[in-house]
Amino acid sequence: MTDAFDPNQMIQRFRDRADAVKRRGLPPVEGPDRQRFLEAAKIDFQDYAMLGDAVATLEEGILHLKIDLRPAQS
């Protein structure tokens, strides 16, 4: 790892990826392939969004990502 690594920039890239998945169009696929594509997009968005919500710290060369998965309080 270089000293130039910025975990907050990494988090922003995951936010950008989540946004891109949300905006991407559906290719011309039908039947089971269409459903598989939609399911993959849903999981991609979920993964990127979770990492985009993480609080990142770099301590002694170890990257820590803290993601709160508790349900929102209403």
pLDDT in tens, 14-62: 999 999 999 988 888 899 999 999 999 999 999 999 999 999 999 998 9
- pLDDT at position 3: 62
Residue 37 within a domain: yes
What local confidence, expressed as pLDDT, does residue 43 receive?
96
14 within 8 A of 74, measured Cβ to Cβ: no
**H runs (alpha helix) in 1-74:** 7-23, 31-52
Cα separation, 66 vs 42, whole angstroms: 22
Structurally, how many domains does the chain consist of? 1
71, part of any domain:
no
User: Where residue 72 falls among pLDDT bands split at 50, 70, 90?
Assistant: confident
74, part of any domain = no
Please indicate, yes or no, if residue 28 is contained in any of the structural domains: yes
In sequence order, the 6+-apart residues with CB closer than 8 A to the CB of 22 are: 45
| Domain of 29, in residue numbers | 7-66
More confident residue, 72 or 7: 7
pLDDT at 2: 52
